[in-house]
Amino acid sequence: MTVFQSFNLTSVLKAIQTFGTLVCFFGMVIFFWIMLPDTFLTGRNILNISQQMSMLAITAFAMTAVMAMGDFDLSVGSMASLAGVVAAVAFRDTGSVFFGVTLAIFVGILGGAFNGLLVSYLGILPFVATLGTLTIFSGLAFVISGGKTIFGADIPAEFSDFAKGGIPLWSSNDQYLHLPNLTLLAMLALLILWVVLEKLVFGRHVYAMGGSSEAARLAGINVRITRLVGFCITGLGAATAGLMYASRVASANPTQGSGLMLDAIAAVFLGMTIGRHGEPRVLYTLVGILIIGVLSNGLTQMSVDSYIRDILIGTIIIASVAAGSIAKLVRN
């Protein structure tokens, strides 16, 4: 292979690594638009996608903070289930929406802090620590709920109506389209975490730890506290997602967040394929969420099995990362 050919191949592979995920996203949008011209790119469906992905979005944005430190949290799905169940039981027993929501948020932060203590202060690997808490949180959700779905009169209308509300945007066929409250929450989470990770000192500490935790410690960064706060963020995000799901379906059960963890990690990884250095960034994670949302919605409308979505997501991640690895091999 000549130097010129090697250079061209490397350039192509770099372009695939950098822009391949974005090209796939826009390609999917065009494909579903062609296949579903009357239903896909409509205002109502776009808002529906935003609402469907809002729970995943908040979880994935929070997961970005932990993965930027070089860690990850396997317990977010079970924490979402636990938070939803805790809130529902509090609603049933006290009748107070404020108390139930506050208690669920507190449980999420407490669970995240517990993960942070295990990883930061006891030195347990994040995979082992959060795998253990995944089963603990899941078991607690079953114990608290009695293994049953909590619904009906136990869920206050004030709580369930929140997911149905939104800001009026425009009228379509004599009906107003609303920007859902759940979407607004996801947008708020995006803004807050973007500021925290990109503009504040805490964010610089997070990315320094992602580069080298030991080097960050030698530079004077309190690695333990930073990691503890990062896991508290994921706990808060998971609990918020659990509350949002419970509000949307007006019920809570101990398995409702079972698929959240894998989708959140996949969204962050999809975003990481966009950046030059492969760092988790909340805006990149947003692209990963949109890819998952578009795939899920489009394939559902086409009556295609959901496992096809998982195959496509995995293929996009592997192809983008493999392109970068092959480019390095060719260059060397």
Annotate 41-109 with DSSP letters as a single string. Answer: TSHHHHHHHHHHTHHHHHHHHHHHHHHHTT---TTHHHHHHHHHHHHHHHHHHH--HHHHHHHHHHHHH
What value does the CA radius of gyration of the chain take, rounded to a whole number of Å?
21
Annotate 2-49 with DSSP letters as a single string. Answer: -HHHHHHHHHHHHHHHHHHHHHHHHHHHHHHHHHSTTTTTSHHHHHHH
Rounded average pLDDT per 10-residue block, the chain, 332 residues:
53 67 87 92 90 95 95 94 96 93 97 96 94 96 92 91 87 73 96 95 94 90 95 97 95 91 90 81 93 90 82 78 66 60
202 exposed, middle or buried (CB, 10 Å; 0-12, 13-18, 19+)? middle
pTM of the model: 0.90
Residue 21 near residue 320, CB atoms below 8 Å: yes
Measured distance CA(281)–CA(269) in Å, rounded: 10
Q: Tens digit of pLDDT for each residue in 209-265? A: 998 888 999 999 999 999 999 999 999 999 999 999 999 999 999 999 988 998 999
Residues 6+ apart with CB under 8 A from 290: 25, 53
Q: CA triplet 67, 222, 261: central angle to 5 degrees?
A: 20
**Residues recorded for the chain:** 332
Q: Reduce the DSSP state of residue 175 to 3 states and report it.
A: strand
Token digits of residue 160: 């369930």
Residue 85: name the closest of 139, 158, 144 by CA.
144
Measured distance CA(330)–CA(231) in Å, rounded: 39
Q: Tens digit of pLDDT for each residue in 271-308? A: 888 876 778 999 999 999 999 999 889 988 988 887 88
Torsion angle defined by CA atoms of residues 236, 239, 240 and 242, in that order, rounded to the nearest 10 degrees: 160
